[in-house]
């Protein structure tokens, strides 16, 4: 027997708590605050794989809050927001969840302002400065540290640098949550959390598909490279039902730097043209009506995926580069400053790109491009868990327990984790965290005697599995002279590159203009399942690479769900996000439904079905 260094010397830490919050981004911080408020006598902890001061998708800051109703000024009501998000997602959303976020989100934003977040005001109206109908402008460099300060003060303990790798279910009842295990990525400690309720607030996934920049620039994905889909993988592995996993997002952004376009299109009224100066969205509108019907082609605003579609048509016709004409908008020093702050607050890499390529937005247009696909649930996209809705307004078949509880008892979700509720962004994700946490406290008050029971043999098996990549490397490295080529292991990076190649070429990545079909998907799935087997042979030389190994594991699970869902939905619901070449149209008759998947941990089988989409807002 070879010496298994980590398993022998690595320490184990047991943590008992009432509520475990997995991930300390915006949803996690919202969950922390609300759990602290309602659960005065409860022990509440956060496990965060980075440091909550600067973690999650808002790590570097934001220049706008993209979800604010303005109910106090009669700007929008929650039902307006539901209609907007429903149109944008081509009809398929959980309207109960959207309404629920919209009715609470203003209070969240007012709280942020009181905490010290600088929000801009419109001097004429005295209201918050709007960027667009739903967006307000902020000076948001320190958005995350401010929110993290509130979260830290709300809970009993924050475990920074602890990555949760697996959830645990109860020994007596495998459909009930009992805790989680994870890894301290600094000292290698194995963590066992025994929790009476768990709220998963982890992130969606970048690097499922091959990024457009494959060198150093692979780090400059639109969605952060550290978001690895734990939001979904953790839940799927314990048998939670998932919806909309086929609903990945492709974003139109400033080329390569992925600077956001919202402020430019909505506030500064910049226009996009092809290389020859034509406003291509206008010239193609009749073709679009013929393709998807007037219901969606003429929706105001035009659904995000359809705007992508029009741009893609233009690129395929060889009329690139596509330009955004910033130079026509920046006619005052105030607007110039606003344009720069937009990027310096939230996408500094775009400012670096401008400086390096000598592009001055005041005099030069910038190129736009379409990104690789991402899997997440809080932007113009809504992959995620099937959760119970708010009791006062959700349809009967959408309610089985507590608000934001998944189909595993005591397991709640918020933010990217929750399916069917897009356009939450930062404020809405925080709000959803609050909703989930209040419901979790209620669940615990209703079940005061529940004590989770964890199978110790199962814990030991997970511990072995968790550290296996270190052992694979320890053993394998002695067989070869040096280097990264081994017949016994692949590095996490090698595994990631294989995953990205499979997804790009078989499941509608940029390499095929987002197009796939049943045969391609089946072939892709067979290759992905071999990669899944090879995860047993990932070799990690240190703890950093061990974290990467588990991020890869979660990404592969997410990719499998994406392929299975894409196979099941026999239509092209979101042209511009992806195309099923064998079913190229929107099929309202058969597919105005959610696709639902459940991985069954006891049989190792996936069960696919559909769920009804209720329209509760006229």
**All residues at 6 or more sequence positions from 205 whose CB lies less than 8 Å from its CB, including other chains:** 223, 227, 228, 229, 231, 232, 374, 375, 376, 554, 555, 558
Q: Assess whether 371 carries a catalytic annotation.
A: no
Region 9-38 residues binding another protein, contact defined as CB under 8 A: 33-34, 36-38
Taking the least distance from each CB to another protein, the nearer of 285 and 393 is 393
Contact residue for another protein among 12, 275, 290, 355 (CB under 8 A):
355
Look at the block and give the residue holding tokens 């970048």.
206
Contact residue for another protein among 256, 465, 582, 587 (CB under 8 A):
256
Residue 286 CB, nearest distance to another protein (Å)? 36
Region 453-492 residues binding another protein, contact defined as CB under 8 A: none
- The reply to whether 121 sits near another protein by the rule CB under 8 A is no
Taking the least distance from each CB to another protein, the nearer of 333 and 487 is 333
Taking the least distance from each CB to another protein, the nearer of 116 and 174 is 116
Q: H helices within 71-142, ranges in order?
A: 78-88, 95-115
- The residue from 379, 468, 498, 548 that is catalytic is 379
Nearest to 408 by CA among 150, 166, 197: 197
Q: How far apart are CA 329 and CA 112, in angstroms?
A: 31
Nearest to 242 by CA among 598, 577, 502, 603: 598
- The reply to whether 226 sits near another protein by the rule CB under 8 A is yes
Residue 435 CB, nearest distance to another protein (Å)? 7
Taking the least distance from each CB to another protein, the nearer of 114 and 286 is 114
Residue 113 CB, nearest distance to another protein (Å)? 8
- The reply to whether 122 sits near another protein by the rule CB under 8 A is no
Residue 141 CB, nearest distance to another protein (Å)? 5
Q: Assess whether 334 carries a catalytic annotation.
A: no
Write phi, then psi, for 451 (nearest 5 degrees). -120, 115
Residue 154 CB, nearest distance to another protein (Å)? 5
**All residues at 6 or more sequence positions from 176 whose CB lies less than 8 Å from its CB, including other chains:** 169, 170, 408, 409, 410, 452
- Mark the segment that binds another protein (CB under 8 A) among 239-247, 469-477, 555-563, 608-616: 608-616
Look at the block and give the residue holding tokens 């000024």.
73
- The reply to whether 225 sits near another protein by the rule CB under 8 A is yes
Residues in the chain: 618
Three-class SS of residue 210?
coil
Burial 327-346 (b: 16+ CB within 10 A, else e): bebbeeeebbebbbbbbbbb
Region 142-201 residues binding another protein, contact defined as CB under 8 A: 142, 146, 149-150, 153-154, 161, 185
- Mark the segment that binds another protein (CB under 8 A) among 194-202, 215-223, 294-302, 373-381: 215-223
- Mark the segment that binds another protein (CB under 8 A) among 48-56, 121-129, 293-301, 565-573: 48-56
Taking the least distance from each CB to another protein, the nearer of 56 and 239 is 56
**All residues at 6 or more sequence positions from 369 whose CB lies less than 8 Å from its CB, including other chains:** 212, 252, 253, 254, 255, 256, 322
Region 371-400 residues binding another protein, contact defined as CB under 8 A: 390-393, 395-398
Taking the least distance from each CB to another protein, the nearer of 78 and 179 is 78
Q: How far apart are CA 163 and CA 182, in angstroms?
A: 5
Three-class SS of residue 398?
helix
Q: Assess whether 241 carries a catalytic annotation.
A: no
Nearest to 19 by CA among 197, 209, 266: 197
- The answer to whether 203 touches 234, Cβ cutoff 8 Å, is no
Q: How far apart are CA 408 and CA 392, in angstroms?
A: 22
Q: How many residues in the shown chain lie near another protein by CB under 8 A?
A: 94
The interface mask with another protein, positions 552-571, x = CB under 8 A, is --------------------
- The residue from 426, 517, 540, 597 that is catalytic is 426
Q: Assess whether 426 carries a catalytic annotation.
A: yes
Region 395-424 residues binding another protein, contact defined as CB under 8 A: 395-398
- The residue from 18, 34, 75, 131 that is catalytic is 131
- The reply to whether 353 sits near another protein by the rule CB under 8 A is yes
Q: How far apart are CA 182 and CA 157, in angstroms?
A: 16
- The reply to whether 593 sits near another protein by the rule CB under 8 A is yes
Alpha carbon dihedral 125, 98, 438, 26, in 10-degree steps, equals: -70
- The reply to whether 448 sits near another protein by the rule CB under 8 A is no
Residue 258 CB, nearest distance to another protein (Å)? 10
Q: How far apart are CA 59 and CA 57, in angstroms?
A: 6
- Mark the segment that binds another protein (CB under 8 A) among 44-52, 191-199, 408-416, 447-455: 44-52
Q: Assess whether 591 carries a catalytic annotation.
A: no
How many Cβ atoms from other residues are within 10 Å of residue 352's Cβ?
A: 13
- The residue from 342, 409, 432, 504 that is catalytic is 342
Q: How far apart are CA 487 and CA 189, in angstroms?
A: 29
Q: Tell me, what DSSP letter sits at residue 409?
A: B
Region 51-90 residues binding another protein, contact defined as CB under 8 A: 51, 53-56, 59-60, 71-72, 77-79
Contact residue for another protein among 47, 98, 435, 466 (CB under 8 A):
435
Q: How far apart are CA 276 and CA 103, in angstroms?
A: 45
Residue 270 CB, nearest distance to another protein (Å)? 19
Q: How far apart are CA 142 and CA 3, in angstroms?
A: 47
Q: Assess whether 66 carries a catalytic annotation.
A: yes
Rounded (5°) CA angle 104-105-109: 130
Question: Annotated catalytic sites, by residue?
Answer: 66, 131, 222, 253, 342, 379, 426
């Amino acid at each position: 027997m070879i010496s298994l260094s980590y398993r022998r010397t690595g320490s184990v830490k047991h943590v008992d708590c009432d509520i475990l919050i997995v991930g300390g981004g915006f949803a996690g911080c919202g969950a922390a605050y609300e759990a602290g408020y309602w659960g005065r006598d409860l022990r509440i902890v956060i496990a965060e794989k980075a440091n909550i001061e600067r973690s999650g998708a808002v790590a570097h800051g934001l220049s706008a809050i993209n979800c604010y109703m303005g109910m106090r000024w009669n700007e929008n009501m929650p039902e307006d927001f539901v209609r907007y998000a429903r149109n944008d997602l081509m009809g398929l959303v959980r309207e109960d969840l959207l309404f629920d976020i919209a009715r609470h989100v203003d209070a969240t934003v007012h709280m942020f302002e009181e905490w010290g977040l600088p929000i801009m005001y419109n001097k004429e109206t005295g209201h918050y400065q709007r960027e667009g109908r739903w967006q307000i402008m902020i000076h948001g460099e320190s958005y995350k540290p401010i929110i993290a300060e509130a979260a830290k003060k709300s809970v009993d303990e924050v475990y920074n640098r602890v990555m949760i790798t697996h959830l645990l279910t109860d020994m007596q009842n495998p459909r009930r949550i009992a805790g989680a295990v994870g890894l301290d990525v600094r000292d290698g400690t194995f963590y066992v959390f025994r929790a009476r309720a768990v709220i998963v607030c982890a992130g969606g996934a970048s690097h499922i598909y091959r990024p457009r920049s494959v060198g150093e620039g692979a780090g400059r994905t639109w969605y952060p490279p550290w978001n690895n889909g734990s939001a979904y993988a953790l839940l799927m592995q314990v048998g939670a039902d998932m919806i909309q996993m086929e609903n990945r997002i492709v974003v139109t952004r400033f080329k390569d730097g992925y600077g956001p376009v919202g402020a430019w299109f909505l506030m500064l009224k910049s226009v996009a043209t092809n290389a020859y100066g034509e406003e291509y969205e206008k010239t193609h509108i009749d073709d679009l009506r013929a393709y998807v019907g007037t219901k969606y082609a003429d929706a105001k605003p035009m659904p995000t995926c359809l705007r992508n579609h029009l741009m893609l048509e233009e690129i395929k016709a060889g009329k690139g580069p596509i330009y955004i004409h910033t130079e026509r908008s920046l006619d005052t020093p105030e607007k110039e400053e606003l344009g720069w702050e937009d990027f310096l607050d939230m996408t500094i890499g775009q400012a670096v790109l401008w400086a390096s390529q000598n592009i001055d937005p005041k005099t030069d247009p910038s190129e736009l491009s379409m990104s690789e696909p991402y899997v997440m649930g809080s932007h113009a996209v809504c992959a995620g868990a099937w959760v119970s809705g708010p009791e006062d307004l959700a349809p009967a078949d959408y309610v089985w327990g507590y608000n934001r509880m998944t189909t595993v008892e005591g397991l709640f979700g918020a933010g990217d984790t929750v399916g069917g509720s897009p356009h939450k962004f930062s404020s809405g994700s925080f709000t959803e965290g609050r909703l989930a946490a209040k419901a979790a406290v209620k669940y615990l008050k209703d079940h005061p005697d529940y004590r989770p029971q964890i199978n110790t043999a199962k814990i030991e098996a997970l511990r072995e599995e968790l550290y296996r990549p270190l052992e694979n490397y320890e053993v394998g490295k002695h067989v070869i002279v040096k280097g990264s080529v081994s017949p016994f292991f692949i590095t996490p990076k090698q595994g990631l590159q294989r995953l990205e190649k499979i997804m790009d070429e078989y499941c509608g990545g940029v390499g095929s203009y987002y197009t796939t079909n049943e045969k391609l998907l089946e072939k892709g799935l067979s290759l992905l399942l071999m990669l899944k087997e090879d995860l047993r042979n990932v070799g990690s030389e240190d703890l950093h690479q061990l974290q990467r190994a588990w991020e890869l594991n979660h990404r592969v699970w997410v990719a499998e769900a994406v392929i299975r869902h894409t196979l099941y939905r026999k239509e092209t619901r979101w042209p511009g996000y992806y195309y099923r070449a064998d079913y190229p149209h929107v099929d309202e008759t058969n597919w105005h439904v959610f696709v639902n998947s459940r991985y069954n941990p006891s049989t190792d089988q996936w069960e696919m079905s559909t769920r009804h989409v209720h329209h509760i807002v006229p």
